[in-house]
Amino acid sequence: MISLHISLEGKTAIVTGAGRGIGKAIAKALAAARAKVVVNDVDWDAAAQVSQEIEVRGGIAKPAKADVRVSSEIVQMFQMAVRELGGIHVLVNNAGIVLRKPAEEILEGEWDRVIDINLKGTFLCAQTAAKAMISEGKGGKIINISSIMGAVALPPRAAYCASKGGIINLTRDLAAEWAKYGIAVNGIAPGWTVTEMTQTYFSQEPVRQFLLERIPLNRLGKPEDIANLAVFLASDYSDYITGQTIYVDGGWTIL
């Protein structure tokens, strides 16, 4: 029997959109595995709060306010990680937004905002991380958070589905391009996961009943379900895995 004990000691991770929800759970889980964590969010107070929670538990964390749509802010964040935490070994691209609106009613600016944060932001952060990893010459791990909506549709979410589907194929391409540098690029596609932002939606009984009837494991996801996989993909145990997107959805996409 193999005992799986994951330690990320000596590694520095950046988690975008980590001020709440899934990103917060991932940041805490990486820190619990002894990684030093940069907690990114556009909300400084949220990032600072999560960092404080990690440090209270004996971890090492630094808050960083940066908009993933802005290259200069991303570069500054990575420079801080290298300067204060000793490098960048893991990136988790979690920052994202959702727009629920009929496709025929989506405004151009609304479409651009979803694509820019979800897809462009993922690329810009991955590109910046890869440059740092290539320069260091020791490889690294990039984990992109997609969604079941990158593979299947549940209207009205046209912009969101497009952005998350783009992340899945972007993950494949970056994995192929950067494999020669020892950089593994993988994705996680969460299913219906209860967070601070979604719990009101899921508390509506018709919504909850519809989802549970459709999920083979008959429960909604928890942020920790996603975080556990992120820790594995950030670790040496996943060294021979790249270009994959793993669905953490209770079986939603198999039906």
Q: Identify whether the C-beta of residue 13 lies closer than 8 Å to the C-beta of residue 91.
A: yes
Contact at 8 Å (CB) between 121 and 163? Answer: no
Examine residue 2 and state whether it is found in any structural domain, yes or no.
no
Match 């969010």 to its residue by tokens: 41
Tell me the catalytic residues: 160
Q: How far apart are CA 35 and CA 59, in angstroms?
A: 8
Task: Give the per-residue pLDDT at 196.
Answer: 87
Where in the sequence is the domain holding 169, given as residue range(s)? 12-248
Residue 74 lies in a domain: yes
The per-residue pLDDT for 3 is 54
pLDDT attached to residue 197: 82
Q: Which residues of 219-237 are buried (b: 16+ CB within 10 A; e: fewer)?
A: ebbebebbbbbbbbbbbee
User: Which CATH number goes with the domain that contains 235?
Assistant: 3.40.50.720
- How much is the pLDDT for 169? 98
Count other Cβ atoms within 10 Å, centred on residue 120.
Answer: 16
* Number of domains observed in the structure of the chain: 1
Structure tokens at 52: 């404080």
Residue 109 counted as domain residue? yes
User: Average per-residue pLDDT in the chain?
Assistant: 97
Q: Does residue 4 lie in a domain region?
A: no
pLDDT digits (tens, 9 = 90+) for 29-59: 999 999 999 999 999 999 999 999 999 999 9
Query: How much is the pLDDT for 85?
Result: 97
The answer to whether residue 78 is domain-embedded is: yes
**Per residue in 156-213, pLDDT tens?**
999 999 999 999 999 999 999 999 999 999 999 999 999 988 889 899 999 999 999 9
What pLDDT was estimated at residue 109? 98
- 66 domain-assigned: yes
Query: Whose structure tokens read 């810009």?
Result: 124
Residue 1 included in any domain:
no
User: 1 falls in which pLDDT band (50, 70, 90)?
Assistant: very low
The pTM for the full model equals 0.97
6 in a structural domain: no
Instruction: Give pLDDT, residue 247.
Output: 98
